[in-house]
Structure 1
Amino acid sequence: MSGPNRGPVSPEQNIANEIMESCAFKFGISGVAGFGLGAVFGLVMASLDFAAPVDTTQSTKLQVKATLKDMGTRSYSTAKNFAVVAAIYSGTECVIESYRAKNDLYNSMSAGCITGGILAAKAGPKATVLGCAGFAAFSTAIDYYMRSRGPD
């Protein structure tokens, strides 16, 4: 890991690099990041939902309290879902990439298929196949787009 401007790498840096490149770390950090992103997304979507009935007999304070509680519940639910999806996908892609020792579109396609299949498994075999195909197509399209942009 020494380079023209870096010099020798200390044992602590090697350990830190190994930890940060491990699939377990990527799985965990993706779950945490997914939870944060999901919380923000859920909060925004809950604030835009005007379908909730407003009880005009309650005081403004009680209405605000009920609205904030509903927004928090929705935000937490979305955060959990995002965390699960991000962790499964990232962990699966890392394992596949480690096994294949390549970084290409097939990794994201395979990870997407496995993630979609896992998420849809409770709904039966047809849903599992459709989840696999849909998530694989989406993952591949996003990865292809990100790779085609190149370094900025």
Structure 2
Amino acid sequence: MSAEKIKLTVTHTYRAPPSVVYDSWLNPAIARRFLFATDDGHVIRAEIDAHVGGRFLVVDRRPTGDACHSGIFLELHRPKRMVFSFSVEEHDHCTDRVQIDFEQLGSGCRLTLTHEMCSEWAAHEEKTRQGWAHVMEGLEREVDQIDRLAS
């Protein structure tokens, strides 16, 4: 296996402040509605132990079988950055690194996600990018709902 990594970046802008977006990512009750959730699946398990060294596990039940996403939090600097290892259970020999930076933009924020993945998954780079974009769109729906409830 090559030690080379592929680095992909996805950004998304939110109307909510960084603290709301950051906290939503780490709240299991909210995260289960967007984190690794697919349109044809259903998240059956979302566990998030949000501290450095803490683990997360999200299981999405899909027509093709359960997809288990897990990792360990490596850095948590609320509300500016989180970094975690990331793997999909059946491919856990190849642990990726995901860094998420939150930048204040007026009353909202920009989230920049950088995913360093093993080069053996090069053929899946665009699908991975689209997957993260889908996660970010789902997160936007959740934080918009939080904002509406707070108003």
Q: TM above 0.5, one fold?
A: no
* Greater fraction of residues in strand: 2
* Greater fraction of residues in helix: 1
- Mark the structure with the bigger radius of gyration: 1
Calculate the TM-score normalised by the size of structure 1: 0.33
**RCO greater where, 1 or 2, for CA within 8 Å and sep 6 or more?**
2
Calculate the TM-score normalised by the size of structure 2: 0.33
